[in-house]
């Protein structure tokens, strides 16, 4: 998949997720998931304009992650253009414009998915950013539309391609749905039919398995797939999807030992980037995802959520692994099933 002047090695993209896709998780997805492209969590163009130091701390992409796109949100074309120049000067490989975020604190400013209610303004934002950073590709992530039943993604995609956007990602839900309901992949197919081969279309929504990804590619004709919530605590899924698309044997599911090791790595990276206090608070909502469906997960998640130091997190993981390895969980499961 080619996005502007950048060749993406495989068409699997890590979706931008607020509070999730900071450097530690992006690095883990690169190392353990074999992902083709990663995108930062959304960053406020207005905060960049006012030189907010916390926001500048979110410019945490590294050479090892490349290609790495920075996602910006905002409703003012000039401010978005300014922010795009700043992040490109700081080494972002590309700029992604957020037109999909539905949370009130973003949408009420006219940014995110709210731009889909005013396509003239949306087009002005895209044009301003494209003109501001001609050396890198500009992409856009959209929802099907803002209000359920009022489809705007198709019309906007054609306009964005004409203005100079180099790819468009479509989360096939309306902003008013949030994450509820079922993604309507037919919207992705309509967008692809509209832009043809002019720019790549990346499909997003309800991909939880390699089979889901293959089905989306087949049913919509999209050029790539974007994985969001399903990758949380499961970076291995990204590599499995890549294998399926390439027609290669799909790598094995991670063992419990693998999950503990990567959770430990994630915690260490987060502390190195954010400092122990901030990182441990952030990790309370992240580490538990690594243990979905494993024996003893409920108790483990509860304990991890209370830890306030890296030593405490590592001690909890050590104790859990020792407990897990001292029990024959397969035998317990068979006994529970009456076999």
Please tell me whether residues 281 and 213 are part of one structural domain. Answer: no
- Does some domain include residue 14? yes
Active site residue 120: no
Please tell me whether residues 232 and 278 are part of one structural domain. Answer: no
Please tell me whether residues 203 and 320 are part of one structural domain. Answer: no
State the DSSP string of 204-271.
ESS--SHHHHHHHHHHH--SEEEE-GGGTT-THHHHHHHHHHHT-PPPPPPPHHHHHHHHHHHHHHHH
- The CA distance from 63 to 67, in Å, is 8
Residues contacting residue 331 through CB under 8 Å, at least 6 positions apart: none
- Does some domain include residue 55? yes
Q: Where does a domain end: 246, 275, 305?
A: 246
Q: Where does a domain end: 224, 246, 268?
A: 246
CATH number at residue 67: 3.20.20.70
**pTM higher than 0.85, yes or no?**
yes
- The CA distance from 198 to 201, in Å, is 9
**How crowded is the C-beta side of 171, counted as CA atoms within 13 Å?**
31
- The CA distance from 30 to 65, in Å, is 7
Backbone angles phi, psi at 27, to 5 degrees: -65, -40
Please tell me whether residues 26 and 139 are part of one structural domain. Answer: yes
Please tell me whether residues 196 and 271 are part of one structural domain. Answer: no
Per-residue pLDDT of the chain (339 residues; tens, 9 = 90+): 999 999 998 999 999 999 999 999 999 999 998 899 999 999 999 999 999 999 999 999 998 889 999 999 999 999 999 999 999 999 999 999 999 999 999 999 999 999 999 999 999 999 999 999 999 999 999 999 999 989 999 999 999 999 999 999 999 999 999 999 999 999 999 999 999 999 999 999 999 999 999 999 999 999 999 999 999 999 999 999 999 999 999 999 999 999 999 999 999 999 999 999 999 999 999 999 999 999 999 999 999 999 999 999 999 999 999 999 987 765 554 443 343
- Does some domain include residue 187? yes
Cα separation values, 218 from 203, 284, 311, Å: 11, 38, 47
CB atoms within 10 A of CB 66: 16
State the DSSP string of 74-112.
-S-HHHHHHHHHHHHHTT-SEEEEEE----HHHHTTT-G
Query: For the chain, what is the domain count?
Result: 2
Please tell me whether residues 45 and 72 are part of one structural domain. Answer: yes
Please tell me whether residues 110 and 183 are part of one structural domain. Answer: yes
CATH number at residue 286: 1.10.1200
Please tell me whether residues 264 and 128 are part of one structural domain. Answer: no
- Does some domain include residue 93? yes
Please tell me whether residues 31 and 119 are part of one structural domain. Answer: yes
The catalytic residue among 29, 101, 222, 280 is 101
Q: Where does a domain end: 246, 274, 294?
A: 246
- The CA distance from 177 to 182, in Å, is 9
Structural domain span for residue 86: 2-246
Please tell me whether residues 301 and 242 are part of one structural domain. Answer: no
Residues contacting residue 215 through CB under 8 Å, at least 6 positions apart: none
């Amino acid at each position: 998949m080619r996005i502007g002047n950048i060749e993406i090695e495989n068409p699997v993209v890590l979706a931008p997720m607020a509070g999730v896709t900071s450097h530690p998780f992006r690095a883990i997805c690169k190392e353990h998931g074999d992902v083709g492209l990663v995108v930062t969590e959304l960053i406020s163009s207005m905060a960049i304009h006012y030189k907010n130091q916390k926001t500048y701390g979110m410019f945490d992409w590294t050479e090892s992650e490349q290609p790495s796109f920075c996602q910006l949100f905002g409703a003012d074309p000039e401010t978005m253009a300014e922010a795009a120049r700043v992040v490109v000067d700081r080494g972002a490989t590309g700029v992604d414009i957020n037109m999909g975020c539905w949370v009130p604190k973003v949408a009420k400013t006219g940014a995110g998915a709210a731009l889909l209610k005013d396509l003239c303004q949306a087009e002005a934002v895209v044009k301003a950013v494209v003109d501001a950073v001609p050396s890198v590709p500009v992409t856009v992530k959209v929802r099907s539309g803002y209000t359920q039943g009022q489809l705007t993604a198709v019309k906007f995609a054609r306009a964005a391609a004409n203005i100079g956007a180099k790819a468009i990602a479509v989360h096939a839900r309306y902003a008013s749905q949030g994450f509820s309901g079922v993604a309507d992949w037919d919207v992705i197919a309509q967008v692809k039919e509209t832009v043809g081969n002019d720019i790549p279309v990346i499909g997003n929504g309800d991909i939880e398995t390699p089979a889901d990804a293959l089905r989306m590619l087949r049913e919509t004709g999209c050029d790539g797939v974007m994985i969001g919530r399903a990758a949380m605590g499961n970076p291995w899924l990204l590599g499995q999807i890549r294998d399926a698309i390439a027609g290669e044997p799909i790598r094995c599911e991670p063992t419990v030992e693998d999950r503990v090791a990567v959770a430990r790595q994630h915690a260490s990276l987060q502390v190195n980037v954010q400092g122990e206090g901030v990182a441990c608070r952030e990790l309370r909502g992240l580490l538990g995802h690594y243990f979905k469906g494993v024996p003893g997960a409920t108790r483990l998640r509860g304990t991890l959520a209370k830890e306030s130091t890296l030593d405490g997190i590592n001690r909890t993981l050590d104790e859990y692994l020792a407990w897990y390895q001292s029990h024959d969980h397969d035998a317990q499961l068979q006994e529970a099933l009456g076999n």
